């Protein structure tokens, strides 16, 4: 269990699947997420969860609101490369009332503190659609640097879209950024 200022990150459980399934089938929630396919059945979610317990290259965590314990989303480190010590960060807040309120900022700082100081990773990458300005602003608030653009690398909504790549290195990470007022809207 990882504890942030606003969130608790914990292992996903079977009881999370019905709500997770609703979010993952909601186009408003998933419209900017990379690597997702839908629609998904609850049976597919059960198989996915079972497989995730054996997966050493992806760390998937439930996100609970710290105040009331409510399950509000999912976050993780994906495509973990243990040899080169890097991973991709991903966040999905399924409960709309928690959007644009600093939860993603806290999730990121909490997850990256764990990644850098407990897992001893060296580099965290953010991948997002070019049109997803909120995610780009969030990555900048965390201290990420723009690395480049994968041109027309994702096909959705009947067109090819660019993917922006940003990253942060362990030595650049400052968990105090959020306390110093350097947070941008997420």
What Å distances lie between residue 106 and 2, 52, 96, 176, CA to CA? Answer: 11, 24, 16, 11
pTM for the full predicted model: 0.88
Residue 38 has a pLDDT of 67
Residue 37 has a pLDDT of 67
Q: Which domains are seen in the chain, by residue range?
A: 2-180 (3.40.630.30)
Residue 45 has a pLDDT of 84
Q: Is 107 exposed, middle or buried (0-12, 13-18, 19+ CB in 10 A)?
A: buried
Whether residue 39 has a cis bond before it, omega within 30° of 0: yes
Residue 186 has a pLDDT of 45
What Å distances lie between residue 165 and 8, 135, 145, CA to CA? Answer: 27, 11, 9
Residue 184 has a pLDDT of 44
SS3 5: coil
Which regions in the chain score pLDDT beneath 50?
Answer: 181-186
Tell me if 88 sits within 8 A of 78, measured CB to CB. Answer: yes
């Amino acid at each position: 269990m990882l504890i942030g200022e606003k969130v608790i990150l914990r292992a996903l459980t079977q009881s999370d699947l019905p709500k997770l399934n609703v979010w993952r089938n909601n186009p408003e929630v998933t419209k900017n997420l990379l690597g997702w396919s839908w629609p998904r059945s609850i049976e597919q979610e059960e198989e996915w969860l079972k497989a995730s317990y054996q997966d050493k290259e992806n760390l998937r965590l439930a996100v609970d609101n710290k105040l009331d314990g409510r399950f509000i989303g999912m976050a993780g480190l994906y495509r973990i490369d243990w040899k080169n010590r890097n991973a991709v960060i991903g966040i999905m807040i399924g409960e709309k009332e928690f959007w644009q309120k600093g939860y993603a900022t806290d999730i990121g700082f909490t997850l990256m503190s764990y990644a850098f100081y407990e897992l001893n990773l060296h580099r965290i990458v953010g991948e997002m659609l070019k049109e997803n300005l909120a995610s780009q602003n969030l990555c900048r608030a965390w201290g990420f640097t723009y690395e480049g653009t994968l041109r027309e690398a994702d096909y959705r909504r009947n067109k090819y879209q660019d993917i922006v790549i940003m990253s942060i290195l362990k030595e650049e990470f400052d968990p105090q950024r959020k306390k110093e007022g350097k947070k941008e809207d997420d």
